C-alpha cells in the first residue's frame, strides 16, 4: 500500500525550486498558482533567503503550490494516481496539498485558502510574542507533564521522542530552565505558536471563507491530523483542516493509521525529507522515498508502481461508499440493519478500538445497495462498509 504525504512549514530551504523550474511546464504552472496566490512564488523558491521564506505568509503558499505542481509531474495523467494511491496525508499546511490532491478542493481553491491561512496566522502570531520548541527524547509522560506544568501545548506530536511545545516566549523560557530528564530542547525558527489557542482568530477567518468553498468527497482516503482518522466526507475534510489551525497536529496517530492500513511505502512530495525521516524511525520496515529534485522522478514512479494498489474507494456517478475511519470492531446500529433507504446524516454504527469509539455517519444518505461488512467484523482504516445509491440519482 502506498501513502503520499505532503510536508508542512519548515520544510522549505532557499533555492529548492531552482531545478524544478528548468521544466517549462512546471514553471508555467507555478506562475499560474503564483497569480492565484498573489505572490511571486518563483522568486521565493529560487532567489529569496531563508529569513524571507520563513515568513508564514510566504512559506505556506510556497509549500502547497510546490506539492501540487510536483504531483502533476509525478502523475502526468492524474486519474492514474487514484488506482495506485492507498491514502494521502499532509502535515499541518500540507493537509491543503493532500486535500487538493485527493480532489476534495481544486488547486485554485487550495491556493486562496492557504494565502488567507498564512495571512491570518501571521496576524494572530503578532498579537503576543510566542514560539515553538522541539523536545527530543525523554520519557513521553514526563515531557507532557512538563509542558502542562508550564502551560504549553504539545502542538506537534510526531511520534516517539518528537514533540513540539508551543506557547508564549515566557512559557518556553520556563521550560528551558526546567527541561525534562534526558530531553534535548531545540527552539524552532517559526513566527508563532501554531496549532494552539493563540491561532483562534485565524480559525474564525478561515471558517468564514470555507463556507463558500464547494467541496467533493475525496477520490482516495484522507488521513486527518486531528486524530489520525480516515475521512471520506469532503465537508468534514475541509472543516478539520480549518479547525486544525488552533489544535495540535497528531502525526503520531496519522502514522498509526498508516500502519493499521498496511502501508508498505511512503512517498513525500517536495520539499521532502522531514516526514520520511520521521517515518524511518517510527515505521520500521516501511520503505520511504523523499522526492526532492526532478531527476528523481523516474525512480519515484518506479516506487509508486512497486507499492501502489487500487484505493478501496471507487467513486462513480451512481453510488457512494461509507468507509471506516479507523481500525477496530464494527458495530452496526440496530435501526439500520434492515433499512432500504437512509436519510442524510444517518449514523450507521460505530468502530470501537482500544483508544476510543467513533460513530460512523452516512453523510449523504441514499438507497442501501449492499453491506460490505457484518456486525462484529474487524475493519481497517478506509475499508468500505456500505454502498449507497444516492437518492434521486439516475
CB burial class (10 A; 0-12, 13-18, 19+) of residue 19? middle
**pLDDT value for 392:** 53
pTM of the model: 0.92
- Cβ atoms of residues 347 and 359 within 8 Å: yes
User: Where are any strands of DSSP class E within 202-332?
Assistant: 222-223, 230-231, 265-268, 287-290, 320-323, 328-332
Which is it for strands 87-90 and 287-290: parallel, antiparallel or unpaired? unpaired
Rg of the chain taking only CA atoms, in angstroms: 21
**pLDDT value for 319:** 74
How far apart are alpha carbons 301 and 291 in whole angstroms? 10
**pLDDT value for 210:** 95
**pLDDT value for 309:** 84
Which is it for strands 287-290 and 357-362: parallel, antiparallel or unpaired? unpaired
- Which of 331, 356, 359, 326 lies closest to 345 in space, CA to CA? 359
- Cβ atoms of residues 87 and 308 within 8 Å: no
The 10s digit of each residue's pLDDT in 77-107 is 888 888 899 999 999 999 999 999 999 999 9
Right CATH number for 320-389 from 3.30.413.10, 2.40.50.100, 3.40.50.620, 3.40.50.1820?
2.40.50.100
**pLDDT value for 23:** 96
Chain position carrying cell 492565484:
36
Task: Look at the domain 127-187 and name its fold.
Answer: Alpha-Beta Plaits (3.30.70)
Q: How far is CA 165 from CA 39, 121, 131, 309, in A?
A: 31, 17, 8, 37
The 10s digit of each residue's pLDDT in 305-334 is 999 986 666 554 457 889 999 999 999 999
Give catalytic residue positions: 92, 195
Q: Domain locations in the chain?
A: 2-124+197-307, 127-187, 320-389
**pLDDT value for 208:** 95
How far apart are alpha carbons 257 and 260 in whole angstroms? 5
How far apart are alpha carbons 178 and 74 in whole angstroms? 47
Which residues, 6+ apart, have CB-to-CB distance to 375 below 8 Å?
Answer: 330, 331, 332, 337, 349
Chain position carrying cell 474487524:
378
- Which of 213, 258, 215, 205 lies closest to 89 in space, CA to CA? 258
The cell for 385 is 462498509
How far apart are alpha carbons 368 and 176 in whole angstroms? 57
**pLDDT value for 80:** 80
**pLDDT value for 313:** 62
CATH superfamily of the domain spanning 2-124+197-307: Malonyl-Coenzyme A Acyl Carrier Protein, domain 2 (3.40.366.10)
- Which of 200, 254, 252 lies closest to 223 in space, CA to CA? 254
**pLDDT value for 311:** 63
**pLDDT value for 191:** 81
φ/ψ (deg, to 5) at 264 = -120, -20
- Cβ atoms of residues 352 and 328 within 8 Å: yes
Query: Buried b vs exposed e over 175-195: b needs ≥16 C-beta within 10 Å?
Result: beeeebeebebeebebbbbbb
**pLDDT value for 393:** 47
67: three-class secondary structure by DSSP: helix
Under-50 pLDDT residues of the chain: 316-317, 393-394
- Cβ atoms of residues 65 and 39 within 8 Å: no
CB burial class (10 A; 0-12, 13-18, 19+) of residue 65? buried
How far apart are alpha carbons 286 and 306 in whole angstroms? 13
Residue 389 β-bridge partners: 367
Q: What is the DSSP secondary structure assignment for residue 319, as one 8-state letter?
A: B
How far apart are alpha carbons 152 and 130 in whole angstroms? 11
Amino acid at each position: 500500500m502506498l501513502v503520499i504525504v505532503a510536508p508542512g512549514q519548515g520544510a522549505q530551504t532557499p533555492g529548492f525550486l531552482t531545478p524544478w523550474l528548468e521544466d517549462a511546464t512546471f514553471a508555467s504552472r507555478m506562475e499560474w498558482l503564483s497569480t492565484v496566490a498573489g505572490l511571486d512564488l518563483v522568486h521565493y523558491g529560487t532567489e529569496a533567503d531563508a529569513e524571507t521564506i520563513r515568513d508564514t505568509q510566504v512559506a505556506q503558499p510556497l509549500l502547497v503550490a510546490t506539492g501540487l505542481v510536483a504531483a502533476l509531474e509525478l502523475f502526468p495523467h492524474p486519474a492514474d494516481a487514484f488506482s495506485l494511491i492507498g491514502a494521502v496525508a499532509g502535515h499541518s499546511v500540507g493537509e491543503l496539498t493532500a486535500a487538493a490532491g485527493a480532489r476534495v478542493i481544486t488547486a485554485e481553491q487550495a491556493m486562496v485558502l492557504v494565502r488567507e491561512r498564512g495571512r491570518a496566522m501571521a496576524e494572530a502570531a503578532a498579537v503576543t510574542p510566542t514560539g515553538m520548541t522541539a523536545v527530543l527524547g525523554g520519557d513521553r509522560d514526563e515531557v507532557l507533564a512538563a509542558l502542562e506544568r508550564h502551560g504549553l501545548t504539545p502542538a506537534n506530536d510526531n511520534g516517539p521522542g518528537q514533540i513540539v511545545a508551543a506557547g508564549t516566549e515566557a512559557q518556553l523560557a520556563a521550560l528551558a530552565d526546567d527541561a525534562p530528564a534526558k530531553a534535548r530542547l531545540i527552539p524552532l525558527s517559526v513566527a508563532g505558536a501554531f496549532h494552539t489557542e493563540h491561532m483562534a482568530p485565524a480559525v474564525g477567518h478561515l471558517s468564514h471563507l470555507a463556507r463558500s468553498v464547494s467541496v467533493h468527497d475525496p477520490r482516495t482516503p484522507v488521513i486527518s491530523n486531528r486524530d489520525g482518522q480516515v475521512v471520506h466526507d469532503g465537508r468534514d475534510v475541509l472543516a478539520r483542516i480549518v479547525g486544525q489551525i488552533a489544535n495540535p497536529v497528531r502525526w503520531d496517530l496519522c502514522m498509526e493509521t498508516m500502519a493499521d492500513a498496511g502501508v508498505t511505502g511512503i512517498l513525500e512530495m517536495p520539499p521532502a525529507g522531514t516526514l520520511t525521516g520521521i517515518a524511518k524511525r517510527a515505521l520500521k520496515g516501511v520503505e520511504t522515498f523523499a522526492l526532492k529534485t526532478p531527476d528523481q522522478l523516474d525512480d519515484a514512479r518506479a516506487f509508486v508502481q512497486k507499492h501502489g494498489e487500487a484505493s478501496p474507494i471507487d467513486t462513480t456517478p451512481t453510488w457512494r461508499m461509507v468507509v471506516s475511519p479507523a481500525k477496530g470492531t464494527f458495530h452496526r446500529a440496530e435501526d439500520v440493519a434492515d433499512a432500504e433507504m437512509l436519510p442524510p446524516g444517518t449514523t450507521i454504527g460505530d468502530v470501537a478500538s482500544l483508544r476510543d469509539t467513533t460513530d460512523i455517519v452516512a453523510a449523504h444518505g441514499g438507497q442501501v445497495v449492499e453491506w460490505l461488512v457484518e456486525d462484529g467484523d474487524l475493519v481497517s482504516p478506509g475499508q468500505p462498509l456500505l454502498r449507497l445509491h444516492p437518492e434521486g440519482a439516475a
